[in-house]
Amino acid sequence: MSSADQPVMTTSAGRVRGIVDPDTGVRTWRGVPYGATTEGAGRFRAPRPVEPWTGVRDASAFSPPAMQGFFGWTDNVIGTEDCLTLDIVRPDNDEELPVVVYFHGGTFVTGSSHEKVLQGHYLTKTTDIVYISVNFRLGVFGYLDYRTLGEDCVANPALLDQILALRWVHDNAAGFGGDPGRVTIMGESAGGAAVIHLMCAPAARGLFHRAIAQSPPVASVHSRVQAAMWVRKLIKDMGLPSQTTLEALREADAEALVRVGQSMLLNRKELVQFNTSFMPTVDTHTLPAHPIDVFQSGAQAPVPLIIGTNADEASFAKALYQTNKSRLRAARRALSVYDPDNAEAVLETYDFVDDRRKFAALIADAVFWAPSVMLATEHRRTAPTWMYRFDYASTTMRRIGLGAMHTSDLAAVFGDAKATRASKFDPFQPREEFDEVSAAMQFHWGSFFHNAHPGEKWPVYGFRSDTEPGRATAIFAAKSSVEYDPKAAQRRAWEGFDMREWGMHRQDLVETLTDSIPDEGNA
């Protein structure tokens, strides 16, 4: 391989040698470290910059992902704690281009920078960007707040990892031909939530200039009550004494911690109550308040924002309950944990979930759509905001009841129809409609990367005026369109519902856990 096929770049820590991908023709540098190892003494602590190296570091192969459970027939654990790496992709030229920093999804517990659909080669070529995809700590190492065990830790390791990655981009993007003054942060699902959290984080201010949040579970933020509950459960399920210290957890076997964390994630009762074990925590510092509160106060980063969801995010929920009675009981319990006074009004809007589709719609709207609308409503007062809904689904996906399910937008945005798990359900679907939807999304995303505006045919999510109905929403489908204030009745119902503080109406938790939580954490 010639030197032209092995581009060498200089970073703040040392030189890296990448490759020109033989299949797509893009330049790529893989597994470039931006932080020091987080194993051992670094476990549960804030990340540190990577130590400089001498010589030229090989960056032709992807690094292992962050340590995580592998969901399958076995309880295998993959990845490593030494996971603070990123992958860089750009067209094979020397033009200065906008930068896109991507944060992967995976329910805060799985995923990697180099999942096939997220490698970014097609998006990079189509939109002319420098694409940087980031690995960060997950699960028990990244998204659990251990401060009830001692102060020698941080509440949000993963969020701090992401901020460190953005500092690396600020310092190094120019060396790869990226414009550090045009940085877009982007992510889907838990990665979309990361985008919102970074907009709320004072330490990330000025490190990015526009944001795209796809299907973000905006309200998936732990209160201190939740965090204390899950730390206690982790210790119990590990078979450790109730007075276990941070130091003891640092010495615990990493794979055992991951396996126990994975079993905690599968707690169906808490899952249905939107209370999963791993999320960021409101800590008054890195994440100073709940994102809804931050946006309502106008304290978020005042950058242009694209935010949206898929039409059938939670289509899997159709299979959770077999009777109307059990569905209604589950829905009422889940909503009442947040806001019992307004739960019935929301349920009425969904006809008290009298069929499976309405139950799935309620779950999807509670987790993804309603809080996204809340944030868009507030952010439009601060900076230009655009909202979308992804409706496209193949005939097969609709026929089997999945529709435009969670993650189905990724293939369209990244331009690779066969790269997602969902594509396995539909191997023979004609490409024409998909190609049209993908081209539309890549056009709008590309315009946003370059110009901080997705194009004139996509109106802002603005206020009602004499000439515009307001709340314009781009609908990406076989025939894309713009709708104004879609699902208005549901939007109004959720406006009266408080989804900021899980557990305040779980007295069993509050009474048993409050004594161990510092006063400042109850805010």
Active-site residue list:
189
User: Half-sphere exposure of 412 toward its Cβ, with a 13 Å CA cutoff?
Assistant: 31
State the burial class of residue 432 (Cβ atoms within 10 Å of its Cβ: 0-12, 13-18, 19+): exposed
Distance from chain centroid for Cα 396:
27
- Sole residue written with tokens 């329910």: 107
- How far is 160 from 162, CA to CA, in rounded Å? 5
- How far is 432 from 441, CA to CA, in rounded Å? 15
| 3-class SS shares of the chain: helix, strand, coil, % to 5 | 40, 15, 45
Tokens encoding 270: 């808490």
DSSP state of 355: S
Give the H/E segment covering residue 171. helix 157-172
Q: Are 323 and 316 in contact (CB under 8 A)?
A: no
Radius of gyration of the chain (CA): 22
- How far is 135 from 26, CA to CA, in rounded Å? 21
Q: Are 437 and 416 in contact (CB under 8 A)?
A: no
Q: CB 269: neighbour CB atoms within 10 A?
A: 9
Question: What is the longest distance spanned by two Cα atoms in the chain?
Answer: 68
